[in-house]
Structure 1
């Protein structure tokens, strides 16, 4: 993406990719694990968190996370991705064995493709799967970007997207010794 993000979802995909570029894999991982939750809420607003996450991933990420070369061993299922989201965002852990959403793997090892290391996007051994944060970020961001293109043509989704949190510059400007308010823009009022 070369232009400035137009909305919250676009800003999050941009920031996830930027985090990879500046060597901040934890930031990228946290963002991309949140994105299916956010997008799933747009598509399935009345579903529970796990249901909407898994349904959204099944619909939008299956091509990237499905079986490689017909080998079901080398895949990460939507439930495993949700289990990683829960473990990482709530406990900073890759141990998904206690997550009720897990489908196959008991541990997800997240790797990074550092210079000089063997780049492995997705691999499995016994009950563990290894996935590179770069691969995960790229796959989920591409899925979200494709979904967003479609979502922008649906008025119901556009209404939900328009109501998302937007981080804006503060209208407050500090001066040495006192605080002043920039009145060039009116502050929102509550009704």
Structure 2
């Protein structure tokens, strides 16, 4: 998973904001599929479950009252769908469950977790960092799972040097 979190970090370093955000919103899909094979045909449920387990704690606020949540796994999944399928930040038209929000706006300066009338303003770097922290915690939880570790080895790799796609073949 490190190759994915490093790609997010590199995208942030170079100001490739859309790349960082798109990959950060995809990671809960990847980790959820590996963690919850019993939910193989239920992408939304596994996404929400992973987000709620590994990232949600960043989006709870005791200062706003008991049980206040800036963004739930359902909201994040709706954002993922809106961005990946429509290129939008408005999540009101998503069939995916929205718990708290109607829109999520990202900025690279200033505020993080600013909630105004159903709109959440997030600092893109902080959001990506919270997702990456979730991946680190998740990886620690599954470091002894041979099924998950073997599945991680099978994830997409981009080859930047010569490689052998099959026995007896070398591609430069």
Both structures adopt the same fold (TM-score exceeding 0.5): yes
Task: List, as ranges, runs of 4+ consecutive aligned residues in structure 1 with deviation greater than 6 Å.
Answer: none
Distance (Å, rounded) in 2 between the aligned partners of 1:123 and 1:73? 13
TM-score (norm: length of structure 2): 0.87
Distance (Å, rounded) in 1 between the aligned partners of 2:161 and 2:56? 40
Question: Out of 6, 27, 38, which is 1:14 matched to?
Answer: 6
TM-score (norm: length of structure 1): 0.79
Match of 1:24 in 2: 16
Question: Out of 86, 91, 106, which is 1:91 matched to?
Answer: 86
Distance (Å, rounded) in 1 between the aligned partners of 2:151 and 2:123? 32
Distance (Å, rounded) in 2 between the aligned partners of 1:109 and 1:169? 34
Distance (Å, rounded) in 2 between the aligned partners of 1:187 and 1:73? 50
1:64 is paired with a residue of what secondary structure? helix
Count of aligned pairs = 164
Of 51-60 and 41-50, the range deviating more from structure 2:
41-50
Question: Out of 166, 169, 172, which is 1:188 matched to?
Answer: 166
Alignment of 1:24-103 (within 5 A): 24-47=16-39, 48-67=42-61, 69-71=63-65, 75-100=70-95, 101-103=97-99
Which digits, 9 at most, give the CA deviation of each residue in 1:111-139, with x for residues without a partner?
111xxxxx111111112111111111010
Structure 1 unpaired stretches of 5+: 1-8, 114-118, 172-184
Distance 1:43 1:22, change over 3 A: same
Distance (Å, rounded) in 1 between the aligned partners of 2:80 and 2:61? 21
Contact map agreement 1:68 1:75 (CA 8 A) in 2:
no
Q: CA RMSD in A?
A: 1.9
Distance 1:62 1:186, change over 3 A: closer
Which digits, 9 at most, give the CA deviation of each residue in 1:18-62, with x for residues without a partner?
111111111110010000000000011231110000000111112
Matched, 1:104 2:100: yes
Distance 1:141 1:68, change over 3 A: farther
